[in-house]
Amino acid sequence: MAINKDGNGYTFGFAIVLVIVVGTILTLLAKGLEPLQDRNEEVKKKLDILSAMMDVEALGIDRSNAEEEFDKYLNIKDALVLDANGNITDGIKDVNGSVIEGTAFNVDIRKEIKNKNREEKNRNYPLFIAKKDGKISYIIPIVGKGLWGPIWGNICIDDDMNTIKGASFGHKGETPGLGAEINKRFFINRWIGEKISDTNGVFLKFEVVKDGSGPFKESKVDGITGGTITSKGVEEMANRCLRVYVSYFNSMKKN
Amino acid sequence: MAELTGKTKEPKEPLFSKKNRKLVTEPLTDNNPVTIQVLGICSALAITVQVEQGVVMGLSVIFVLVLGNLIVSLLRKMIPSRIRIIVQLVVVASLVIVVNETLKAYMPDVSEKLSVFVGLIITNCIIMGRFEAFAMANKPWPSVMDGIGNGLGYAGLLIIVAFFRELFGSGTLYGYEIFGSAIPGEEWGLYTMGYTNNNLMILPPMALIIVGIIIWVQRSRNKALVEDH
């Protein structure tokens, strides 16, 4: 039986079979592995929050023990959800503003900001509160975009509600060796000690600079050579996301 | 490659015959995918800032190239010639996705490291180049050997380029400080004597220049590689 392999029928048939076979394999694989992947992401989220508080690498905390360590310092029940003005809300709101079930941990801050249907007043801003060695620190998740895709991070604020005590940054696919370096210690250290508001409680904008003045000037942070756009992305997300929390901290300081 | 495309009935040859061994060794030197075939230059520019990334990318490409070559070679008699490029693309893309999804579920740390490379592997011209030039016309086993050879040749070149770029651009190798530390206030090593890193090394043009120098050196040592024009 000879088949004309250059005929349209064979070509179409081959293409259709190929698409169905490949499509089925990929769908089954993706669906089958989804629970495992979701689980990994949850652990990763906890690990990211922890690494904003401390140097997890030096302490030997990784995915395997992230959850235990997380429970040592944080209680999800203590986490707050703020509205766009920095006031504590009664719970998570859906796109229409009605309260739904869930904790601050379930808030996907990227969806909050990206969803066009969600008005600004209905956005949820999670704030995690951790206790370590008897001291309280506040952890704020931030999201933004870098050169090639999303970047995100967590900023840890000291119990003075002003000084940055630690941070962790992550990215989906920034240029290796350049923008991708934002998750390295050396870059994170440049943020530590910066203040988010002045003595009157006015939010201080961060600026990522190229001239190396970061360590000496307030609110200035050195960028990464060759990773300008990613560094600027970190600046943008820090400025946009931290502002809301400053009003919350101000009201807390007054009380 | 012309001598390998013959479809005559060949006598059974041993797995590691001279011809098959040559498929692995040639791409390492005189038929290097990057310096001679000039494939995969784009990714060689993007990810040779640090040696570690070169190693990770090299390993990923070897893996995908070997498996992809095998699959395309097994399907070679069925693939309609008019849509062969699309079929090859589907093979690479799905292979990379399968690997990535599996890693994401079972080895999330490795998956995070590879995240950026996934796109780069799919678009890597070496893979499509070898599918089209070799696997479409050869039996599975030689195709596997060809995949190993070209993958290694590519990985080797990435590591050489990354060696120079990381050493002179960041003063480190595989993340270890070789020339000392340039962090203000904590300088040590060469940096205390006023040495500074060459920032041009970190930028993509320098990768082109280094690849160019390697091509120059290689062709001046082996005149047979120089094309007459």
Question: Of B81, B94, B105, which has the smallest distance from its Cβ to A33's Cβ?
Answer: B105
Q: CA-CA distance, A146 to A114, in Å (whole number)?
A: 15
Looking at residue B6, its pLDDT comes to: 45
Give the DSSP H or E segment for A110.
helix A109-114
Question: Of A5, A36, A178, which has the smallest distance from its Cβ to B80's Cβ?
Answer: A5
* Token output for A243: 């502002």
Domain residue extents for chain B: 33-223
Q: Which residues of B touch A178 (CB under 8 A)?
A: 49, 202
Maximum C-alpha span of chain A: 88
Looking at residue B11, its pLDDT comes to: 59
Tokens 């320098």 belong to: B206
Best of B45, B81, B115, B206 to disrupt the A interface (most A CBs within 10 Å) is B115
Q: Which residues of A touch B105 (CB under 8 A)?
A: 33, 36-37, 40
Nearest CA in chain B to A10: B80
pTM over 0.90: no
Per-residue pLDDT of chain B (229 residues; tens, 9 = 90+): 444 444 445 556 777 788 888 888 888 888 888 888 888 888 888 788 888 888 888 888 899 999 999 999 999 999 998 899 999 999 999 988 888 888 888 888 777 777 777 777 888 889 999 999 999 999 999 999 999 999 999 999 999 999 999 999 888 888 788 888 766 667 778 888 878 888 888 888 889 999 999 999 998 988 887 777 6
Domain residue extents for chain A: 74-254
Q: Output the 3-class SS for chain B.
A: CHHHCCCCCCCCCCCCCHHHHHHHHHHHCCCCCCCCCCCCHHHHHHCCCCHHHHHHHHHHHHHHHHHHHHHHHHHCCCCCHHHHHHHHHHHHHHHHHHHHHHHHHHCHHHHHHHHHHHHHHHCCHHHHHHHHHCHHHCCHHHHHHHHHHHHHHHHHHHHHHHHHHHHHHHCEECCEECCEECCCCCCEEHHHHCCCCCHHHHCHHHHHHHHHHHHHHHHHHCHHHCCCC
What sign does the dihedral A209-A211-A212-A216 (CA atoms) show? negative
Question: Of B47, B90, B109, which has the smallest distance from its Cβ to A22's Cβ?
Answer: B90
Q: Which residues of A touch B102 (CB under 8 A)?
A: 29, 33
pLDDT tens digits for range B163-216: 999 999 888 888 788 888 766 667 778 888 878 888 888 888 889 999 999 999
Best of B55, B86, B116 to disrupt the A interface (most A CBs within 10 Å) is B116
